[in-house]
Structure 1
Amino acid sequence: MSSDNILETRGLVKEFKGFVAVNEVNLKVRRGSIHALIGPNGAGKTTCFNLLTKFLDPTRGQILFDGVDITKEKPAQIARRGVVRSFQISSTFAHMSVLENVRVALQQTLGTAYQFWKSESTLNQLNMRCMELLDEVGLTEYSHLPAVELPYGRKRALEIATTLAMEPKLMLLDEPTQGMGHEDVDMVTQLIKKVAANRTVLMVEHNMSVVGSIADMITVLQFGQVIAEGPYAEVSRNPQVLEAYMGSAEEALQGAHG
């Protein structure tokens, strides 16, 4: 595997009782890039993410991370290698403060993640790093606020901070702007761009303007297969891609009228 690529899949297949959800996907994610996985609903994007993080086992194929075959590894092993998916550790603790949420994620670095009976003072050594992470995602002024009181877009920023606390080599972001208003979408888009400056990001995203503004490379899936790959300018003009998206829009309209 080329050292330029941090992640590679070879002939990745996932079947569910005869239904092929992911079909011979060959994916190469370049180190230090933002790579977007897009496609209409049911294209196999989330299944791909579940295979990469081993929430699902592939039917066939190989997954290589940093040159190592991780196909048979468990989710915890893969997370320890530095493949961190936003939702895995980002379901925020609503009634803990923003700082405490990040501190819980940082406890892994101390090896005390499950020693909840330890004195809180032993965790204070993490506060400086917590504040650095909160500063990176623009949440310094919210540090003592209970997470439940954060506006929706800021909750996503907190999720990204807890993901960063795990020191990921590869961040997997699943629909990071889903359900957001325009202002929050812009904020989170800029945040992803900022945190990706010295990291690698693979994201599933529906919002094409987000993808167009920050993705270096785009892989388009339809019916579990890769139908196009390349930069946004190239992919957005691809007739197969346009048909895949227009087709799903027409079906949605027909469904609405039916």
Structure 2
Amino acid sequence: MADDCILETRGLTKEFKGFVAVNNVNLKVRRGTIHALIGPNGAGKTTCFNLLTKFLEPTAGTILFKGEDITREKPSDIARRGVIRSFQISAVFPHLTVLENVRVALQRKLGNSFHFWRSERTLDALNGRALELLESVDLGGFADTVTVELPYGRKRALEIATTLAMDPELMLLDEPTAGMAHEDVDRVTRLIRSVAQGRTVLMVEHNMSVVSGISHTITVLQRGSILAEGPYSEVSRNPQVMEAYMGTAA
């Protein structure tokens, strides 16, 4: 595998009782890029994400991360390698403060489990780094806010901060702008571009203005198979893509 390819799948397939959700997908994600996975509903995007992060086991095929076969590894093993996923539904603790949410993610550095029983003084040692991460996603002024009180777009920014706390080498973002107002979409798009510096991002995203603005490579899925791949300027002119996806996105 080429040195600039951080993630690769070969013949990745997932069947559910005869239904093929992901069909012989050969994906290559280049290091240091933002790679978007798009397609109509039911195309297999989230199933593909679940396979890559080992929440599902593939029926067939191979997954390689930095040239090493990770196909049979557990989700926790994948995370320790630096492959960290955010979820389509905002996955934060609503009744903790914004700072406490990031601090929970940082506790991974203290060992293999979250030490909720550790002394406040021990956990306070994480506050400096937690505040740095919050500043990086424009949440520095919300550190003491109870998370349930945050606007939706800010919660998604917090989710990205907790993902960054895990020191990801490869970030997998599942529809990071879903359900957002226009101003929140713009903010999170800028945020993704910023946090991608020095990292690789693979994201599922429906908003084509987001995809066209920040993605280096786009892979289009249809019925579980790759329909097209390339830069937006190329993919957006593909007649099959226009019929299968672009036309329905208007």
CA-to-partner distance for each residue in 1:128-187, whole Å, 9 max, x for gaps? 100110111000000111111111111000000000000001000000000011110000
Shift, 1:89, TM fit? 11
What is the aligned partner in structure 2 of residue 186 from structure 1? 186
Structure 1 residue 194: Cα displacement? 0.4
Match of 1:255 in 2: none
Contact 1:89-1:105 within 8 A present in 2 as well: no
After TM superposition, the score normalised by the length of structure 2 is 0.97
The answer on whether the counterparts of 2:22 and 2:47 sit within 8 Å (CA) in structure 1 is yes
Separation in structure 2 between the aligned mates of residue 89 and residue 236 of structure 1, nearest angstrom = 28
Provide the residue aligned with 1:253 in structure 2. Answer: none
Match of 2:130 in 1: 130
- What's the C-alpha RMSD, in Å, of the aligned pairs? 1.6
| Number of residue pairs the alignment of both structures matches | 250
Normalized per residue, the structure richer in helix is 1
Structure 1: runs of 5+ lacking an equivalent? 251-258
Looking at structure 1, the residues matched to 249 and 142 of structure 2 have their Cα atoms a distance apart, in angstroms, of 40
Separation of aligned partners in 1, 2:65 and 2:157: 26
One-letter amino acid of the counterpart of residue 169, structure 2: K
CA drift of 1:115 comes to 2.6
CA gap of 1:64–1:169, structure 2 versus 1, over 3 A, is same
CA contact (8 A) 2:90 2:155 kept: no
For residues 249 and 235 of structure 2, the distance between their equivalents in structure 1, rounded to whole angstroms, comes to: 18
Q: Deviations over 1:212-251 (max 9, x none)?
A: 000000000000110100000000010010010267579x
In 2, distance between residues paired with 1:157 and 1:131?
A: 14
Listed one character per residue, the Cα deviations across residues 16-69 of structure 1 (whole Å, up to 9, x for unaligned) are 111111111000000000000000010000010000011111111000001110
Per-residue deviation, 1:87? 2.6
User: TM-score under structure 1 normalisation?
Assistant: 0.94
Matched position secondary structure for 1:87: coil
- Whether the aligned pair in 2 keeps the contact of 1:12 and 1:25 (CA below 8 Å) is yes
The separation in 1 between residues aligned to 2:246 and 2:171, in whole angstroms, is 30
| Match of residue 116 from structure 1 | 116
Q: Which amino acid aligns with 1:181?
A: A
